[in-house]
Structures are given as structure tokens and as C-alpha cells.
Amino acid sequence: MSSLKPVRGTHDVLPDESLRFRHVEETAYRLARCYGYGEISTPTFEFTDVFSRTLGETSDIVTKEMYTFADRGGDSITLRPEGTAGVARALISNGLAQDLPLKLFYRGSMYRYERPQKGRLREFHQVGIELLGVAEPLADIEIISLASDFLTELGLGDVVTLELNSLGDSESRDAYRTVLVDYLSAHRDKLSEDSLKRLERNPLRILDSKDQGDREIVAGAPLMSESLNEVSATYFATLTSALGDLGIAYTVNPKLVRGLDYYCHTAFEFTTDALGAQGTVLAGGRYDGLISQMGGPQVAGTGWAAGVERLSLLVADSVSAPRPIAMIPIGAEAESEALKLAHRLRGGGFMIDLGYGGNLGKRMKRANKINARAAIILGDDELARAVGTVRDMDSGDQAEAPLASLEDHLARYR
């Protein structure tokens, strides 16, 4: 049994880390609710077409990273590598287009076969939001504001940077694709093998290449902003003006793109170098053509997703476990009474830790080990007088309190 290990790229989320996970997820959920978003939960696996259609047949995720298998019925099934495609499929499957606009929050595990690294695993978790049915820049402003509030609430406002770019509308993208292909074709002999394939099918993805030679070529490429038409330029100006009014700082990153055609206008990422090399902790943008590409109606969409593991690492020093109250009975009669008393107090919202044995000294050591805020000592003498001795574990002060009204005395420790 000692040789058993989790599969590479997966790990056990133990209580301390689980506490941080829950803090990140619940903070995202609480703020999403403040903005009027409801929670959606889609299946962990979908028919493979749901992702191959939306992520692009030539994307790294589809060709190299998806966990795909044939089920016993012969259908091709894929563990979800991201959340947006499942939400879009849910809109189509459930006929939700008649309920637009839709404001949806999700959380859950995702799966990608990639090289594990700090805060980036093969089984990982995301929180995200999707705002469907609003084509105006107000939707992008809202989701970026929500993302900023979320990261600020986690205490990360000073360690993240919002990077922003405009991808323009379809007319602008077509114009940019033409000048980009002309530029890259002049450097064809120096492009990587992957980028040569993308040059024919999806040239914008070359701007995302990690190959050093490609990056040197891309450094001199024309900028998307040079191809924006008036509609797209106005859209982006409206967005940046509103972010300024809201006090949300940003940096325009002209190299920030999304390679697939259904993306348009806004692309953004919140990045940090607090985990070593600069990395993205939250990313999003507008995808007005996604749902129609999947076979549904034309529905505008925008949203973002954030990695829970990476955020959990960033908040590690600011999240502490709630402190329980230790119930310490001494003697058989007190054990029986403590069981009933603990049940009553838990029903009143108190966190009660009831030890399973040992003398007073051992139980007090346990109370210190679990960082108890207070201890209730219950022995024969206390039972005879229907009181409990309540000890403040920080100050060492203690006082007796009637068992019948113990909740009132413990209110400060709730």
C-alpha cells in the first residue's frame, strides 16, 4: 500500500488546502450573486464534439490535451477541459435562448493532459461566469468589474495586473488576418512546424506561440489595433472609459489575442508574478459566434474563468481555519451529558469539538492542538450544580455559566 500514489498531475486536497479552495469558490459565488448571477452545474464529461467544435480541431487542447475515450456504447466522450462549451451546450439543449439575458456562475473540476507545474495540474478546478445575450460593451464592463472585485476581495488587488486588448468585429479581424498572413508569409522559412500549419488555418494563434523563434518573428508583427474599424474602436473606447470611471486600472497588451473566429472585441487577463514566472490567474473575453457555431441561435456571449489552484496558492497566508469550542467531559456521567449538550450547541450554530477519551490533561492538549477558541469543562461537580466551566483558551480566564443558558455565554466565541 505504501507504493500507491495519485496519478501524475492529480493530488489529494487535504483539509488545509480544502479550506483555501472553499474560500476562493465561495468568494467567487458570493460576489457573482451580488451581481445577479445564478449557479449552473454541467456534466463533467460531454460528447467530444462539444469541445472539438468550440476549441478548434487544430488547437493544442483538442490535439494534445483532451482526455477522450469511447464509452461502452461506442460514443466518443471527453472530460471537460474548460467550462464555457458546456454552458453553451446547456443553453441549446434546454432551450434557454428564450430566457436571455442569462447570467451564470459555475465551478468544478476540469481536465487537461499537460505538463504539471506549480498551480497547474491535469485535474484542476475553475470558477467562472458567463453573460449570454448582451451584445453591448456594458456586458464586458460588468464581468471585468466582477473579476476585479473578486480578486480584490481575495486580497490580491495589489499583486495582479489587468491586461486588455480589442480583437475587433469580424470585419476588423478579416482585415487583420490579411495583413498578418502577409507579414508571417515573408518569414515562412523561420516559423516552427506548428505555426506553419496554423498559418493556413488559424494564423492568429501564431501570436500565442511559445516557440522562441516564433516569438521573435511575432515581436515585429502588425498590431490588431491598426486594423480596427470605427465600430470596433468605439466599442473598445467605451470599455476603457468605463473602467477608468470605475477606478479599475488596466494595461493594453496588443499581443493578447484569442485565435478562434467566434471571439471578438474584448480579450482580457489578470496576471501576476507572485508565483514566480508571470502567469494568468483569470482570463476572459467576448465570444459572440460560439453558440451559433455549435448549431444554436446567434447569441452574444462574454465571460471569464479563474484557476482555483493558483488562487489558493496566492491566498494561502490569509485564510485560517475557524476555531472550534472544545467540549471536555470528565467522568462517565459527564460524557453522557456532554453528548447531549454538544448536540444542542451545534444546533445553535456553534462549532463544537467533542473529544473521544483521555483525562483532563490530554483533552486540554487536544484543545490546544486544534486551536480551540474556548473549552467547556464538565465534571461531576459542575453537573451537580448544572453549570459548565468555560475557559478562554487565549487569555486563560475561566468562569462558570449555567448549562441552561450556555449559548448566551458562548456568543462571543460563535
pLDDT in tens, 316-330: 777 888 899 999 999
Residue 163 lies in a domain: yes
Q: 154 and 32 in one domain? A: yes
Mean pLDDT of 37-62: 84
Domain that holds residue 385: 325-413
Per-residue pLDDT at 275: 80
310 and 331 co-located in one domain: no
- Nearest CA to 252 among 161, 150, 169? 161
Q: At residue 75, what are phi and psi to the nearest 5 degrees?
A: -80, 145
Last residue of a domain, one of 314, 344, 370: 314
202 lies in a domain? no
My answer on whether 309 and 344 are in the same domain is no
| Grid cell locating 48 | 467530444
- Report if residue 176 sits inside a domain: no
**How many domains, in total, are found in the chain?**
2
Q: For residue 106, what is the domain's CATH number?
A: 3.30.930.10
What pLDDT is attached to residue 104? 98
Query: Do 244 and 148 reside in the same domain of the chain?
Result: yes
Q: Identify the pLDDT of residue 206.
A: 85
pLDDT at 56 over 70: no
Same domain, 281 and 376: no
Q: How far apart are CA 291 and CA 233, in angstroms?
A: 25
- Non-local (6+) Cβ contacts of 298 within 8 A are 288, 289, 291, 292
pLDDT in tens, 263-309: 899 999 999 988 876 689 999 999 998 999 999 999 999 999 999 99
pLDDT digits (tens, 9 = 90+) for 139-165: 999 999 999 999 999 999 999 999 999
According to the 3-state scheme, what is the secondary structure of the chain?
CCCCCCCCCCCCCCHHHHHHHHHHHHHHHHHHHHCCCEECCCCCEEEHHHHHHHHCCCCHHHHHHCCEEECCCCCEEEECCCCHHHHHHHHHHCCHHHHCCEEEEEEEEEECCCCCECCECCEEEEEEEEEECCCCHHHHHHHHHHHHHHHHHCCCCCCCEEEEEECCCHHHHHHHHHHHHHHHHCCHHHCCHHHHHHHHHCHHHHHHCCCHHHHHHHCCCCCHHHHCCHHHHHHHHHHHHHHHHCCCCCEECCCCCCCCCCCEEEEEEEEECCCCCCEEEEEEEECCCHHHHCCCCCCCEEEEEEEHHHHHHHCCCCCCCCCCEEEEECCHHHHHHHHHHHHHHHHCCCCEEECCCCCHHHHHHHHHHCCCCEEEEECHHHHHHCEEEEEECCCCCEEEEEHHHHHHHHHHHC
Is it the case that residue 57 has pLDDT exceeding 70?
no
C-alpha to C-alpha distance for 332 and 380, rounded to whole angstroms: 9
* Assigned domain for 402 exists: yes
CB 349 within 8 A of CB 303: no
Cell of 285: 473575453
- CA 341 to chain CA centroid, nearest Å: 39
Q: Choose one of 256, 282, 314: the last residue of a domain.
A: 314
Q: Are 345 and 256 contained in the same domain?
A: no
Domain annotation covers residue 362: yes
Q: Could you tell me the CATH number of the domain that includes residue 375?
A: 3.40.50.800
Reported as a single tens digit per residue, the pLDDT across 350-376 is 999 998 888 888 999 999 999 999 999
Among 256, 289, 314, the domain boundary falls at: 314
Q: What are phi and psi of 258, to 5 degrees?
A: -130, 130
